[in-house]
Amino acid sequence: MHIAITGKESSIAALVAGLSSGVNITKIDANHIPQSSLSQFDAVIDTDIESRPSRLVHYASQNGPLYFLGFCNTRLEALCLEQGVSPHSGFIGMCNFPGMLERKVLELCDPFGADRALASEVVRCLGFDHAEWVHSRVGFVSPRIICMIINEAYYTVQEGTASREDVDQAMKLGTNYPKGPFEWCREAGIKSVYRLLEAMYEDTQEERYKICPLLKTEFLRSAQEPD
């Protein structure tokens, strides 16, 4: 199987860490995508289509491969609409929230009727146990739950109910979570957490995604730092 991959180096490294033998990977600089012929590949993985959604126009013009498109703060349908791209059966949404590409299961969404059997084969070739097919929603599933828990943890600290260390310890011991909310937040980065919560609230207008003032304060403090 021949797979092309482009996007952030950290995400590429996570995706190819468990690569099966016999899989040929070609890395393409994101700046060179618009000039690249992609029809020779079985699959193309763009680890961050959200940063440059204009690449969708080029992908839609190339016949043949499946496209795994990494994002989390929007929906694939919205990205296509913004770029004037018609629904494409070769497009698959891939959850790229920090930490999600290092797991054994890869969260995917299929809003346009892709070849799931081929997609699942690609996922196994990348070393994942399997693909988890979820509904097309902002935040997929795992990041949505994790960020909501982090937000609630910030409210708990803001109200003086418990310290961050106590909250982390309680979640790990009481629910058997592998990490506490603040550990998750540090690993994912407060910017990623804030931006996803913001996107989920804008999408749903549900109070459970309304950002805690303490979390917002810490986000604004970090906003001056480079990504």
pLDDT in tens, 31-76: 999 889 999 999 999 999 999 999 999 999 988 899 999 999 999 9
Does 55 lie in the same domain as 10? Answer: yes
Claim to verify: residue 159 and residue 117 sit in the same structural domain: no
Number of domains in the chain: 2
Same domain for 202 and 126?
no
Identify the domain boundary among 112, 134, 156.
134
205 Cβ contact list (under 8 Å, min separation 6): none
Q: Answer yes or no: do 148 and 101 share one domain.
A: no
Query: Hunting for tokens 């506490």 — which residue is that?
Result: 180
Residues 90-119 as b/e (b if ≥16 CB within 10 A, e otherwise) read: bbbbbbbbbbbbeeeebbbbbbbebeeebb
Model confidence, pTM: 0.92
Query: Would you say residue 227 lies in a domain?
Result: no
What crossing angle do the helices spanning 213-222 and 190-204 adopt, rounded to 10°? 130
Contact 2, 41 (CB under 8 A): yes
Residues 112 and 170 in one domain: no
Determine the structural domain holding residue 200 and report its residue range.
Answer: 142-222
pLDDT digit string, tens, across residues 138-159: 999 999 999 999 999 999 999 9
43 and 79 fall within a common domain = yes
Q: Which of 118, 134, 150 is the C-terminal boundary of a domain?
A: 134
Q: How confident is the model at residue 20 (pLDDT cuts 50, 70, 90)?
A: confident
| Residues 129 and 147 occupy one common structural domain | no
| 108 and 190 within one domain | no
Please report the pLDDT score of residue 63 as a whole number: 81
